[in-house]
Chains A and B, each alone.
Chain A
Amino acid sequence: MENGITRRQALAASAGCLALTRCSLVSGHRPPPRVSIVRAAYTQALYDTVRRLLVEHRVDVRGRRVVIKPNLVEFDPGTTVNTHPMLVHAALEGFRALGAAEVRIAEGPGHRRVTMDLADAAGYFETIPHFEDLFTDLNLDEVSQVLLQDPFSRLNSVYFANTALAADLLVSLPKMKTHHWVGATLSMKNFFGLVPGSVYGWPKNVLHWAGIDECIADFHAAFPRHFAIVDGIVGMEGNGPIQGNPKAVGVLVAGKDMLAVDATCCRIMRINPSGIRYLRLAAGPNRLDEENIRQIGEHIKDVQTPFELMPHFQTLRL
């Protein structure tokens, strides 16, 4: 694929999938999005927990190409910074069990070029058999330019990694973290890793100048076929996404609607989701309201764990 294609063209060419416009995501009547909150730990039981989550959300991936996008950021054997490899493996196994034709793991870290070494240090090679064959470094992937329709950011187009564009289902598997620039980094912010460092560099600073919140909202619209499982077993509070401190919550938060998933994560972290600019931008009116999200599993109040916030984000506190 070469320059100047729209996401619609990319999908039509590769998978004959659905159209995208931002409007299609925010208009029309539809049932409230469902978001699961389940208690979990980094034990063998996690595999069964993830499989049940996927069944509960009727994720139909039979014959489809699934791309799992974890959050790999820094060398950190403790995996406070990175999505835990066991959760990634559990998702891989879960989608395979549901009949996916192909399941790949893919990530393009924002600061570090040495993605495979980073994954190695984070335990991915050890935990996930044949990891190297299953993984695509999105920073070094082939790329296509996608024209953004009615963008929030100052970008009219953006290059994305082809592995992400060709996915029938893109699964965001982030850590539950606070973020020093945008308040919280969850399933939507995780899509920054779909943008190739080979084009934009390390860091992908063009996105910052174009508006971080606005880019997050744009990328959310550009990849409408998604599912999210947020690793809140141990998250990060304070000066995230790198320099914060571990915060144990003991939950996974999952659903087909990333806005609803991220809004729910915020409430668990005792952050007002309406205070997160990118959520407001992407959501439109009322979509972030708690009554407009159908919670499954644990109640928010039963797992709510206040995350320490940077001083400039204290007003986000619920």
Chain B
Amino acid sequence: MDLVSIIGLQNHDGGWPYRKSGGSWTEPTVFALLAQWVEKGDPSSIERGLTWLRAAQRQDGGWPPRPSVAQSTWVTSVAALLPRDAIGRSHHAGAVDWLMGQTGKETSFAYKLRSELMGDGSVAEQARTGWPFFPGAAAWVSPTAISILALEKARRYQTASGLQQRIQVGRQFLMDRICKDGGWNYGRSNVLGVDADSYPETTGQALLALNEVELPKLGKALAAAQDQARQCQSAEGLSWLQLGLQAHGIIATGPPRPLPCRHIGDSALCILARAALGGRNIFLE
């Protein structure tokens, strides 16, 4: 699906669905807009998309997955990837404030105290604060990686010291969750004593978020990501790997057979990855 097709699937309300003829959702709307940013899309389509997004923002500053879901979630970090001047300064600031207020439930004082009292050995791993998908749940790799990227962008406009600290701790969270094979999965490197395998999509996201981390610490991760790229079975996974590796100066080649894009989100992501391979990584702008 090329950019023209993506634009053609924009809903009348200005947002994009996950799938053709569905209702508008925050996440595919942002990715469709980002794809238009890197490929000179249709200004009218972009403005309608931004208008939909602004209207969807909740009073707490966060975004819901879609307006009918009465809860701000991790998609706030996705919306905050948009250029501040495009989405609007107050909208962007609200998103950053909301993100700064989110932590994984496992790092709450009450939960840590309970874990200590019960002799839970995983308390040390839970020391780093990441971001959950949904408020009140634990932190995971994907929302943490995207939140770091969003806060990195915000840091260019805001000087509040908390931003840098959350980014650093978030990166430590990611470093704590590296799987034995060098990559990342959803966020558990070991389940009940058994090492868990990593995934291409989360490995790419984590590498993207760790773009300022020194290379020696990531040597194994970068090698694992390149292996994953060569054997990847999904366009979405390969796109995230290409974006993540490009952030470290590596151009990743995919498998011999072309991987089909299945929906608007992964099609838009492929456009972003292609732009990154050409030198423009929108996540790092």
Contact = CB atoms under 8 A, between A and B. Distances in A.
Interface of A: 2-3, 75, 111-114, 116-118, 120-121, 137, 140-143, 145, 159, 180, 198-203, 205-206, 208-209, 239, 242-243, 310
Contact of A199 (B65, B191, B235, B236): B65
A243 B195 CA distance: 9
Contacts of A113: 201, 236
B237 A198 contact: no
Given A120-B233, A199-B65, A206-B136, A140 B191 contact: no
A137 B28 CA distance: 15
B68 interface: yes
A142 B22 CA distance: 7
A205 B140 contact: yes
B199 A112 contact: yes
Size category, B interface: 35 or more
A142 B140 CA distance: 24
Contacts of B118: none
A132 to B, nearest CB: 8
Interface stretch (B6-14, B52-60, B69-77, B81-89): B69-77
Contacts of B266: 114
Nearest to B193: A239
Given A140-B18, A142-B23, A243-B194, A201 B74 contact: yes
Contacts of A239: 191-192, 194
A114 B233 CA distance: 9
Given A114-B201, A117-B233, A117-B262, A201 B25 contact: no
B73 A75 contact: no
A198 B136 CA distance: 16
24 contacts: A3-B68, A111-B186, A112-B199, A112-B201, A113-B236, A114-B201, A114-B262, A117-B262, A120-B233, A140-B263, A142-B22, A143-B66, A143-B68, A145-B69, A180-B192, A198-B18, A198-B65, A199-B69, A201-B74, A201-B133, A202-B133, A202-B142, A203-B140, A205-B140
A201 B143 contact: yes
Nearest to A157: B70
Contact of B105 (A120, A141, A209): A209
Nearest to A198: B65
Nearest 5 A-B pairs (CB), nearest first?
A201-B133, A117-B234, A140-B18, A205-B137, A114-B234
A201 B262 contact: no
Given A199-B69, A239-B192, A239-B194, A205 B132 contact: yes
Contact of A201 (B70, B140, B194, B233): B140
B27 interface: yes
